[in-house]
Amino acid sequence: MASPLVGVRADPCPHCRSGEVYLRADGAPQCKDCKWTGPPRYDSKYLQSWSTVILPPSQTLPAPETPHLDPTLQRTGGLLMAAAVAHVAAVFAVLYVTLPIPWLETLLQYHYLDWTMVLGLSVVTLGIILQSVFAVVAIAGAVVVLGDYKGGAPVFGTVGIAAILFSLLLFGGPVGVAGGALLAAAAAALRPSLRTRSRSYAPA
């Protein structure tokens, strides 16, 4: 069977002098009147025959489904990000913030123990290290939770309690305590019973 014509005119037919000469898909000129065919320009083995495109019965395609994250995981991720900000802010609140009200500045820098060295490190150095560790745990937790991971509650709870105790006793003050409380709240939000209760009250 002759290749379909592609609609590009060629030189007049040398056989019948007709001007109705068109190029085929393989580049060969072919006369529409006398069916004279010239040599092809392309080897037919390199040409590909495309199958007919079958459209669906409906012209309107369904919209792709948008993945929805569990609202509880969204809230937990927000709590963890807020905890990370609080632990970073605790370092600045203790070391760099100066307020005109003495008692308020004392409150920000509150610590129960007057130790200066712990495990061979100064309290300030240890405080910066641990508050940074608490912040990193919170950020890493937010990343995995917002990636639809439902575990990690024991880790967040343990780190949160440790952050509260360390901030009260040695370094961090109320800002560090707030960060630890946010970590503990994130752990509570990830409890299976709370997730089930949240889904049961969610609108259909």
In a domain, 28, yes or no: yes
- pLDDT mean over 170-186: 94
Residues 75, 138, single domain; the answer is yes
In a domain, 52, yes or no: no
Specify the number of domains making up the chain: 2
Whole-number Å distance between alpha carbons of 72 and 104:
35
In a domain, 14, yes or no: yes
Q: Give residue-wise pLDDT tens across range 121-162.
A: 999 999 999 999 999 999 999 999 888 888 888 899 999 999
In a domain, 61, yes or no: no
Residues 38, 78, single domain; the answer is no
In a domain, 162, yes or no: yes
In a domain, 182, yes or no: yes
Residues 130, 87, single domain; the answer is yes
How large a percentage of the chain has pLDDT more than 70?
75
Q: Which domain holds residue 18?
A: 5-42
Residues 75, 38, single domain; the answer is no
Q: Give residue-wise pLDDT tens across range 80-124.
A: 999 999 999 999 988 888 778 888 888 888 888 988 988 889 999
Residues 122, 177, single domain; the answer is yes
- pLDDT mean over 189-204: 56
In a domain, 80, yes or no: yes
Residues 79, 23, single domain; the answer is no
In a domain, 49, yes or no: no
156 with 143: CB under 8 angstroms? no
Residues 26, 89, single domain; the answer is no
Residues 38, 113, single domain; the answer is no
pLDDT at 204 over 50: no
Long-range contacts (CB closer than 8 Å, 24 or more residues apart) made by 91-100 = 91/127, 91/128, 91/131, 91/132, 93/173, 93/175, 94/127, 94/171, 94/172, 94/173, 94/175, 95/124
Residues 107, 15, single domain; the answer is no
Residues 79, 149, single domain; the answer is yes
Residues 28, 109, single domain; the answer is no
**Average pLDDT of every residue of the chain:** 80
Residues 88, 171, single domain; the answer is yes
